[in-house]
Amino acid sequence: MKIELIPPAVKNGFKRILQPLIARLVRLHLNPNWFTTLSFFIIILSAVAFSRGSLRWGAFLLLLGGLLDMVDGAVARASNRVTRFGALYDSVLDRYAEIAVFFGIAYYFVHKIGEGSEHAHIISMVVFLAMAGSLMVSYVRARAEGLDFECRVGFLQRPERLVLISLGALLNDSWLIVALIVIAFFANLTALQRLVHIWRSEKAAKWNNLPPDIPHE
């Protein structure tokens, strides 16, 4: 069963809202990689804002960078400029940007609570687990698609993670920690969910490829 934190109807509705902007950008013949690069630097600024304790600015810049990250792929598809390098470039910058955000958040909490304190250690572990889960979600998909499997399933994909961090930061420190705990748990769960999805897909493919005279149990 496919479960998503942000329903597909919401995602599709948001994409429809962006269509006029996408069409305008395509008419301007802008390179999709420009938006990838701009998104990366804006999210880096978000990480800096988080590290300095400017949580609301960090949240705003993170959402803006995430929005631009959606635009680059849409512009590439609409203008028929999808390339393998572009896909790789986007994926690599996304991972570095996400690492930077988690690093900025960890720096903020450790600096605020006090380096060496027990609470700082606990929060650092939560941030580490959230970052590890986020990276593994992307890794499992990339590895699966390299083996010719479709792997877009998952409860907590990148847009959901960005929204959770932003909402938590917009509220206060406590809610940001809650968001990190949710990500730490569900991102790793999503990686496992994708692993199970590939296992089931391969198992189904084996049954479908059996000769018709062999009974299926």
What DSSP line would sit under 133-191, residue for residue? HHHHHHHHHHHHHHTT------SS-HHHHHHHHHHHHHH-HHHHHHHHHHHHHHHHHHH
**Per-residue pLDDT reduced to its tens digit, 58-89:** 999 999 999 888 888 788 888 788 888 888 89
**Per-residue pLDDT reduced to its tens digit, 30-57:** 788 888 999 999 999 999 999 999 999 9
Across the range 192-216, mean pLDDT stands at 72
User: Percent of the chain having pLDDT more than 70?
Assistant: 87
Domains observed in the chain: 8-206 (1.20.120.1760)
Taking the alpha carbons at both ends of the chain, their separation in whole angstroms is 22
**Per-residue pLDDT reduced to its tens digit, 159-181:** 889 999 999 999 999 999 999 99
Q: How many CB atoms lie within 10 A of CB 20?
A: 9
Average pLDDT of the chain is 85
Quick check: 136 pLDDT over 70? yes
215 falls in which pLDDT band (50, 70, 90)? Answer: very low
- What 3-state DSSP class applies to 215? coil
